[in-house]
C-alpha cells in the first residue's frame, strides 16, 4: 500500500489511536521493495513475510487505518522482531523502522491486556528494578551469593535445569555478578592522567553496575589515560532503553527527564556510554520528548553531546603509549551501534591502533547475534539459532578474542562460546584498550 492509499484509508476508517502509535508519515516511507528482507534475522530464520520488516510495516498500516485489529496475531508478529534495525541500514527509502517498532509496541501495550503474571513481571522489572539502585544491589547480592556458594555451578552441572523447560534453557544466560559493584563509584570524579584535555560524563547504566562493573572501571581508566577528567554524575539513572524497546514509553520518558536534569547542567565536552544499546536510546531522547514543551529543547541539547565511548575515543588523538598485544581479534558489530547509531569504523579503528593486534573481519558481522535486550530469554529458540550461526562464523576466523561494543551482546556471545565456540575470550573494545594501556592505579 502506497502513501496516498494509506492516507485515503485513514480518512475512510480512522480509529481512535494512541498518541504514540506509528505515524502515517513514517509508514508511508516504506515502498515495500523488499531490500530489507535479507537483512532481517527473523525473516532469514522463519521465511515468513509477516515476520519481515516489510510485512510488519504492512500490518502497522492496516492497524492504523482500522482495517486490521491490534490483536494477538499482530502482537506475536511485532513481538518476534529483534528491533536490531538491520533493515534501516538496508533501506534505500530511509524508513525509521526503530521508531515504528517501538511505537507499535507502545500501542499494543495500551490496547492488549496481557496475562496477570506478565503484567506483574513487567511492572516489577520496568517500574521497580531497573530504575532503583537499591533493588539492583539486592538482586545483585542474591545472584552473587548463588554463584559464590557454588550452587549455580552445581545446579547447571547436574542437568537438573533441563527438567524446567524454558527456565532451564535460558538460565545459563544469566550474567555473573561482579563484586564490588560499580554503584559506589557513582557521584565521584576521576582526574585525567597528565594534562586534562576533556571533561566528560559517564553514564554507568543500571544492570551494568552489577554485571559489568569491571567494564565500567576499564572505561574510566582508558578515558583518564586519554586526558579525560571523568565525572560519574550522582543523580543519573537507567537510560530507559529497555523500557522504550518494550513499549513502555512513559516510563522511558520519566527516566529521560531525570538523566537530562542530572547531566545537562554539567557543561561536559561529551556525555559517554559504553553500552551501544543504551546509546541508541540516549541519542533519541529528542524524539522521545518531542511533545514535551519543558524538555524538548533540553533533549536536543543533551543528544548533541551524547557519544558512544568508541565514537568519542576514535574522534580524539589517542594516547599511543600502549604495550603490544599479540592477539588475533574479530569484531561483532553491535546492532544498535551499527544500525541504530550508524557507527561502523570507530571500534575497528581503535582495535587497529593497538600495537600487535591483528583484526580479522567477521563474516556477516552486521547480522544480530540474538541478544536484543531480553529477546534471548523471551524467544530463546530463535535467539539460539542465530547464536549458533554467529559462532560458526566466529570459529572460521580462528580468532582468540571476540570483541564487541555492547554488554548485552557480550552476554550472548559468551554463551555462544560456551555452547559452540573454541574458548575465545569475549571482550568489549574498551577492555582491549585497557589491557594495552596496562594495569590501572
Which tens digit of pLDDT belongs to each residue from 112-151? Answer: 777 888 888 888 888 888 888 999 999 889 988 988 898 8
The pLDDT of residue 123: 85
Q: How many CA atoms lie within 13 A of 346 on its CB side?
A: 21
- Give the C-alpha separation, 83 to 85, whole Å: 5
The pLDDT of residue 94: 94
Instruction: Please enumerate in sequence order all residues whose Cβ is within 8 A of that of 272, keeping only pairs 6 or more positions apart, or say none.
Output: 200, 201, 202, 203, 219, 223, 307, 308, 309, 312
How crowded is residue 265: how many other Cβ atoms within 10 Å of its Cβ? 10
- CA 45, 409, 304 angle in degrees (round to 5)? 110
How does DSSP assign 282-350, residue by residue? HTTHHHHTTT-TTTHHHHHHHHHHEEEHHHHHHHS-----------EEEEPPPHIIIIIS---HHHHHH
What confidence category does residue 238 fall into, taking pLDDT thresholds of 50, 70 and 90?
A: very high
Q: Which residues pair with 198 in a beta bridge?
A: 228
29-38, 61-70, 215-224, 344-353: which has the minimum mean pLDDT?
61-70
Q: What is the average per-residue pLDDT within 261-266?
A: 96
The pLDDT of residue 165: 66
pLDDT > 60? residue 333: yes
Q: What is the average per-residue pLDDT within 411-433?
A: 94
**Beta-sheet strand order (sheet of 328-331):** 358-361, 328-331, 401-404, 425-428
CB 27 within 8 A of CB 61: yes
DSSP state of 275: -
79-83, 117-121, 254-258, 357-361: which has the minimum mean pLDDT?
117-121
| Residue corresponding to grid cell 529497555 | 242
The pLDDT of residue 15: 56
CB 289 within 8 A of CB 320: no
Q: What is the average per-residue pLDDT within 278-299?
A: 96
The pLDDT of residue 244: 92
9-13, 198-202, 243-247, 340-344: which has the minimum mean pLDDT?
9-13
pLDDT, greater one: 75 or 379: 75
Which tens digit of pLDDT belongs to each residue from 367-396? Answer: 999 887 777 777 778 888 999 999 999 999
Q: What is the average per-residue pLDDT within 190-216?
A: 95
CB 432 within 8 A of CB 322: no
The SS3 of residue 86 is: helix
CB 306 within 8 A of CB 282: yes
Q: Tell me phi and psi for residue 279, to 5 degrees.
A: -60, -35
- Of 3.40.50.800, 3.40.50.10700, 3.40.50.720, 1.10.10.10, the CATH number of 321-437 is 3.40.50.10700
The SS3 of residue 367 is: coil
What are the Cα distances from residue 1, in Å, to 4, 22, 47, 60? 8, 15, 21, 11
Superfamily of domain 3-111: Alpha-helical ferredoxin (1.10.1060.10)
Q: What is the average per-residue pLDDT within 195-199?
A: 97
Domain assignments of the chain as residue spans, ordered by start: 3-111, 116-173, 182-314, 321-437
pLDDT > 60? residue 236: yes
- Give the C-alpha separation, 236 to 399, whole Å: 37
State how far Cα 163 lies from the chain centre.
31
Q: Which residues pair with 56 in a beta bridge?
A: none
Which architecture does CATH list for 182-314? Up-down Bundle (1.20)
Q: What is the average per-residue pLDDT within 266-278?
A: 96
Q: What is the average per-residue pLDDT within 271-287?
A: 96
pLDDT > 60? residue 8: no
Mean per-residue pLDDT of the chain: 90
Q: Which residues pair with 338 in a beta bridge?
A: none
| Residue corresponding to grid cell 557521584 | 187
pLDDT > 60? residue 63: yes
- Give the C-alpha separation, 433 to 179, whole Å: 22
pLDDT > 80? residue 110: yes
The pLDDT of residue 150: 85
Instruction: Please enumerate in sequence order all residues whose Cβ is within 8 A of that of 58, keeping only pairs 6 or more positions apart, or say none.
Output: 1, 32, 50
What confidence category does residue 6 fall into, taking pLDDT thresholds of 50, 70 and 90?
A: very low
The pLDDT of residue 305: 97
What confidence category does residue 400 fall into, taking pLDDT thresholds of 50, 70 and 90?
A: very high
What confidence category does residue 440 fall into, taking pLDDT thresholds of 50, 70 and 90?
A: very low
The pLDDT of residue 9: 42
Which tens digit of pLDDT belongs to each residue from 149-175? Answer: 988 788 777 777 666 666 666 666 777
Q: What percent of the chain has pLDDT over 90?
A: 73
The pLDDT of residue 1: 43
What confidence category does residue 225 fall into, taking pLDDT thresholds of 50, 70 and 90?
A: very high
**Beta-sheet strand order (sheet of 270-273):** 189-190, 228-231, 198-202, 270-273, 306-308
Q: Which residues pair with 331 in a beta bridge?
A: 361, 403
- Give the C-alpha separation, 397 to 134, whole Å: 43
- Give the C-alpha separation, 197 to 316, whole Å: 10
CB 22 within 8 A of CB 108: no
What are the Cα distances from residue 346, in Å, to 56, 77, 270, 331? 32, 34, 16, 12
Q: What is the average per-residue pLDDT within 179-189?
A: 95
Amino acid at each position: 500500500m502506497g502513501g496516498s492509499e494509506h492516507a485515503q484509508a485513514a480518512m475512510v476508517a480512522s480509529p481512535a489511536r494512541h498518541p504514540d502509535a506509528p505515524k502515517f508519515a513514517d509508514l508511508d516511507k516504506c515502498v515495500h521493495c523488499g531490500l530489507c528482507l535479507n537483512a532481517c534475522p527473523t525473516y532469514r530464520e522463519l521465511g515468513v513475510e509477516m515476520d519481515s520488516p516489510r510485512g510488519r510495516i504492512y500490518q502497522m498500516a492496516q492497524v492504523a487505518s482500522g482495517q486490521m485489529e491490534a490483536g494477538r496475531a499482530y502482537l506475536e508478529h511485532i513481538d518476534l522482531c529483534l528491533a536490531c534495525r538491520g533493515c534501516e541500514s538496508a533501506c534505500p527509502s530511509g524508513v525509521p523502522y526503530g521508531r515504528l517498532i517501538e511505537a507499535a509496541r507502545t500501542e499494543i501495550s495500551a490496547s492488549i491486556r496481557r496475562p496477570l503474571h506478565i503484567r506483574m513481571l513487567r511492572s516489577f522489572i520496568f517500574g521497580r528494578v531497573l530504575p532503583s539502585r537499591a533493588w539492583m544491589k539486592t538482586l545483585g547480592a542474591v545472584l552473587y551469593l548463588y554463584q559464590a556458594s557454588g550452587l549455580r555451578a552445581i545446579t547447571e552441572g547436574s542437568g537438573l535445569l533441563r527438567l524446567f523447560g524454558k527456565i532451564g534453557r535460558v538460565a545459563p544466560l544469566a550474567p555473573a555478578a561482579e563484586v564490588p559493584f560499580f554503584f559506589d563509584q557513582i557521584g565521584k570524579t576521576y582526574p585525567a592522567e597528565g594534562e586534562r584535555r576533556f571533561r566528560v560524563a559517564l553514564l554507568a547504566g543500571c544492570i551494568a553496575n552489577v554485571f559489568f562493573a569491571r567494564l565500567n572501571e576499564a572505561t574510566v581508566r582508558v578515558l583518564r589515560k586519554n586526558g579525560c577528567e571523568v565525572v560519574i554524575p550522582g543523580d543519573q539513572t537507567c537510560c530507559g532503553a529497555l523500557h522504550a524497546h518494550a513499549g513502555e514509553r512513559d516510563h522511558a520518558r520519566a527516566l529521560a527527564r531525570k538523566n537530562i536534569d542530572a547531566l545537562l547542567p554539567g557543561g561536559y565536552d561529551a556525555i559517554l556510554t559504553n553500552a551501544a544499546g543504551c546509546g541508541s536510546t540516549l541519542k533519541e531522547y529528542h524524539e522521545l520528548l518531542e511533545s514535551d514543551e519543558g524538555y524538548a529543547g533540553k533533549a536536543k541539547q543533551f543528544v548533541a553531546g551524547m557519544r558512544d565511548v568508541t565514537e568519542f575515543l576514535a574522534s580524539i588523538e589517542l594516547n599511543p603509549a600502549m604495550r603490544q598485544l599479540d592477539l588475533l581479534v574479530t569484531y561483532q558489530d553491535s546492532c544498535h551501534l551499527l544500525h541504530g547509531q550508524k557507527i561502523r569504523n570507530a571500534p575497528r579503528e581503535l582495535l587497529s591502533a593497538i600495537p600487535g593486534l591483528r583484526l580479522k573481519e567477521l563474516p556477516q558481522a552486521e547480522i544480530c547475534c540474538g541478544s536484543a535486550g531480553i529477546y534471548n530469554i523471551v524467544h530463546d529458540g530463535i535467539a539460539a539459532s542465530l547464536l549458533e550461526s554467529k559462532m560458526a562464523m566466529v570459529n572460521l576466523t580462528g580468532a582468540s578474542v571476540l570483541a564487541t561494543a555492547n554488554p548485552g551482546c557480550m552476554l550472548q556471545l559468551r554463551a555462544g562460546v560456551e555452547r559452540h565456540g573454541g574458548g575465545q575470550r569475549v571482550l568489549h573494545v574498551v577492555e582491549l584498550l585497557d589491557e594495552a594501556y596496562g594495569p590501572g592505579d
